[in-house]
């Protein structure tokens, strides 16, 4: 079968022929119908400091098959698998949890103490076929396409961010980053009752996409963001909620200036270096609440997100802009930096 692999700590990826994997007793084998490139995959492609940090944290062994956002059809199940059957349409939860630690037993399996990461700690899904533990399979609603299903994993992150934000009807929300997760945060916020969403990026292509979802879209390299925020929140003194989805350290230098007193900040993306933060000014005297997001709540975020997709409250197809076969993997990764929303691998295009 064809698969996209990372062979070492160097720039680039390659498409190779590998044997079809065989599921273990607790695993399923799927035929991958659609798989999406994530920011983590881009870090691995470039092999930068963020890739090195994440790979060391979650025990990468080279070579490995890249990819963790996918949807497909179950072709085979292991001897011990129950609840998932051949023919089911599924997506994979990336956080492979133990199910027995304190975190898992108290409703926080997404932050399992013995966590491993699909597509990092083990082979992933940028391939014609892939295996995964049955415990991380999410059965997709019948009305959801495979391309939409491939976005359930990152969509679950966006859903988790909105859940952590505890947005109230009428709130003004500022979203830093108009990539795929930022776009889905924007859609979910508006579907959840936010009065307005100000979406910020420095990429005109992505800013244009955010406009299509009903956001007040701002290219902060060309427009004074402070004036935009003041225009819409003068009485409140700032936005009610900020969701940070860029991971850019520079965003943190001014981000809290746009937050009202007693507002909430939710951080999603992982900066590549430590961030300096003025606790007295930006947190304590401001009464700010800061909440971090890592992955999706299992399975709460998944079911909430599925409900929005299934009932057409958000449109994932607008987030997808490009599709490639596995054999054009280098071109696909290059496209992510040339103006794109979500870029998919479709093995059936070969």
Positions annotated as catalytic residues are 40, 43
Residue 17, SS3 per DSSP? strand
At 122, give phi and psi (nearest 5°).
-150, 175
The strand ranges marked E within the chain are 2-6, 14-17, 27-36, 64-65, 69-77, 89-92, 95-96, 116-117, 129-133, 137-139, 172-176, 196-201, 216-219, 239-244, 259-267, 289-292, 320-324, 342-345
CA distance 133 to 115: 13
- Tally Cβ neighbours within 10 Å of residue 299: 15
| 272 contacts 245 by C-beta, under 8 angstroms | no
Q: Which residues pair with 219 in a beta bridge?
A: 201
CA dihedral 299, 300, 302, 308 (to 10 degrees): 160
Q: Give the Cα separation of 49 and 40 in Å (integer).
A: 11
Count of C-beta atoms within a 10 Å radius of residue 283: 15
The pair of three-digit structure tokens given for residue 340, joined into one six-digit string: 């794109």
| Cα of 310 vs its chain's centroid, Å | 19
């Amino acid at each position: 079968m064809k698969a996209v692999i990372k062979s070492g700590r160097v720039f680039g990826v390659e498409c190779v022929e590998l044997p079809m994997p065989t599921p273990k007793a607790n695993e399923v084998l799927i035929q991958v119908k659609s798989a999406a490139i994530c920011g983590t995959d881009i870090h691995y492609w470039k092999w930068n400091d963020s890739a090195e940090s994440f790979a060391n944290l979650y025990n990468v062994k080279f070579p490995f098959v890249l990819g963790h956002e996918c949807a497909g059809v179950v072709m085979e199940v292991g001897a011990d698998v129950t609840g998932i059957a051949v023919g089911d349409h599924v997506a994979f939860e990336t956080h492979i949890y133990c199910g027995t630690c304190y975190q898992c037993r108290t409703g926080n399996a997404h932050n399992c103490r013995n966590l491993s990461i699909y597509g990092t700690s083990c082979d992933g899904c940028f391939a014609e076929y892939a295996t995964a533990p049955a415990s991380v399979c999410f059965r997709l609603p019948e009305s959801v396409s495979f391309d939409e299903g491939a976005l359930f994993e990152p969509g679950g992150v966006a859903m988790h961010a909105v859940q952590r934000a505890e947005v109230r009807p009428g709130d003004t929300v500022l979203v830093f980053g108009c990539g795929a997760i930022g776009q889905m945060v924007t859609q979910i916020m508006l579907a959840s009752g936010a009065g307005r969403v100000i979406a910020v990026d420095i990429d005109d292509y992505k800013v244009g996409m955010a406009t299509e979802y009903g956001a007040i879209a701002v290219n902060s390299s060309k427009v004074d963001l402070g004036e935009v925020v003041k225009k819409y929140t003068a009485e409140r003194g700032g936005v009610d909620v900020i969701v940070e989805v860029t991971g850019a350290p520079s965003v943190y230098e001014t981000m809290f200036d746009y937050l009202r007193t007693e507002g909430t900040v939710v951080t999603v993306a992982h900066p590549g270096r430590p961030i300096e933060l003025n606790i007295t000014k930006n947190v304590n005297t401001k009464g700010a609440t800061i909440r971090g997001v890592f992955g999706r709540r299992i399975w709460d975020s998944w079911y909430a997100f599925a409900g929005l997709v299934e009932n057409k409250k958000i449109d994932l197809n607008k987030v997808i802009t490009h599709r490639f076969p596995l054999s054009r993997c280098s071109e696909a990764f290059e496209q992510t930096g040339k103006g794109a929303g979500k870029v998919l691998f479709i093995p059936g295009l070969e």
